[in-house]
Amino acid sequence: MLISASEILVKAHKESYGVGAFNFVNFEILKSIFESAHEASSPLIVQASEGAIKYMGIDMVVGMTKLFAQKYPHIPVALHLDHGTSFESCKNAIEAGFTSVMIDASHHSFEENLEITKRVVDFAHSHGVSVEAELGRLMGIEDNISVDEKDACLVNPLEAEVFVKESKVDFLAPAIGTSHGAFKFKGEPKLDFERLLEVKRLTNIPLVLHGASAIPQSVRESFLQSGGDLKGSKGVPFEFLKEAVRGGINKINTDTDLRIAFMAEVRKVANENNSEFDLRKFFTPAMSAVKSVIIDRMKLLGSANKI
Ligand code: G3H
Ligand code: 13P
Ligand code: ZN
């Protein structure tokens, strides 16, 4: 049975550990995620973006996730909508069986973000579904960024306090300097941990780190060895992920690491045998590589052995 992400994250918030929220776009990634949670004895959040839903079909997204949840009944698991762009998108997901949604109205004004988030919270809570919202813009902080520029794009802790009180949102994604994808930082990686601590102190709810892929050395090397190009790529260092968890982050959104790990293995098989066309020969090593990334991450974030 799927449960709300709030159930999983309130426990993580109380006990100060992080739970990976892993994106999937197909059966193979979803299978790898569930098998990892099983092997690491970790609670789990699986999430699908609107693009992933369009690609798989919402019935398949919900159906496959429910079947895996049935297969592993001991794993506390939530199905979360990642970056819902409208009330309608969140409503559709909830009606289809998602147990958690994100309404991402962070590009609107504070007032508009609050208004749309409140509407989603009302609807979601009446269905027992949890809600995530975002404040600030996801972007890397340059070394020479001014205080004013930082204030203009990152989360404002005082606004976060008001936003959480008024919207009754279950968990919040504060922008503290991460961005999506494989190219997160131009210079040295930098996150605003002081801002994070202030948001946690003023809101005291589970917090979310978007753009949390680390691009570990082993994954980068594997992709490069397969002939892939990741020049200039930079992820969030492991130490930063740990510090983020210590600072109050409980949901750690991870997609890019899984994509790179998966595709490196697919590329290798294609390079090594250009007459191979049995899909399973590509996907079996790809799933092993993804599992290894996820199990390591569950240990790092502290969710392993929390079932
Ligand atoms: O936050 C974005 C996620 O990585 C999902 O990306 O829209 O390409 O599915 P997507
Ligand atoms: P990454 O691109 O760092 O994996 O971030 C994923 C994410 O934030 C999904 O919402
Ligand atoms: Zn995100």
Sketch out the chain's domains with CATH numbers. Answer: 5-301 (3.20.20.70)
Q: Counting ligands in written order, which one lies closest to the CA of residue 80? A: 2
Confidence of residue 38 (pLDDT cuts 50, 70, 90): very high
pLDDT value at 182 more than 80: yes
Mutate to test the pocket of ligand 1, among 26, 58, 82, 213 (most ligand atoms within 8 A of CB): 82
Please check whether residue 167 is in contact with residue 123, taking contact to mean a CB–CB distance below 8 angstroms: no
User: And the tokens for 211?
Assistant: 């753009």
Q: Do 116 and 105 contact (CB within 8 A), yes or no?
A: yes
Q: Is 181 in the pocket of ligand 2 (CB under 6 A)?
A: yes
The CB of 254 under 6 Å from ligand 2? The reply is yes
**Residue 142 or residue 99, greater confidence:** 99
255-300 pLDDT, tens digit each: 999 999 999 999 999 999 999 999 999 999 999 999 999 999 999 9
pLDDT tens track for 220-255: 999 999 999 999 999 999 999 999 999 999 999 999
d(CA 170, CA 155): 17
Ligand nearest to the CA of 82: 2
Residue 79: partners with Cβ closer than 8 Å, 6 or more residues away: 2, 46, 47, 48, 61, 62, 65, 97, 98, 99, 100
Distance from C-alpha of 40 to C-alpha of 297, rounded to nearest angstrom? 10
How do residues 83-122 score in pLDDT, each as one tens digit? 999 999 999 999 999 999 999 999 999 999 999 999 999 9
pTM for this prediction: 0.97
Angle at 199 between CA 116 and CA 243, to 5 degrees: 125
Q: Is 227 exposed, middle or buried (0-12, 13-18, 19+ CB in 10 A)?
A: exposed
**Residue 143 scores a pLDDT above 80:** no
Lining ligand 1 with CB less than 6 A are 23, 49, 51-52, 82-83, 180, 255
**Over 80: is that where the pLDDT of 142 sits?**
no
The response to whether residue 179 sits with its C-beta less than 6 Å from ligand 2 reads no
Confidence at residue 151, expressed as pLDDT on a 0 to 100 scale: 80
pLDDT tens-digit series, residues 44-58: 999 999 999 999 999
Nearby residues of 247 by Cβ (< 8 Å), 6 or more positions away: 193, 196, 197, 200
Confidence at residue 28, expressed as pLDDT on a 0 to 100 scale: 99
- Taking the C-alpha atoms of residue 192 and residue 206, their distance in angstroms, rounded to an integer, is 17
Ligand 2 midpoint to CA 255 (Å): 5
Write down the catalytic residue from 59, 82, 104, 278.
Answer: 82
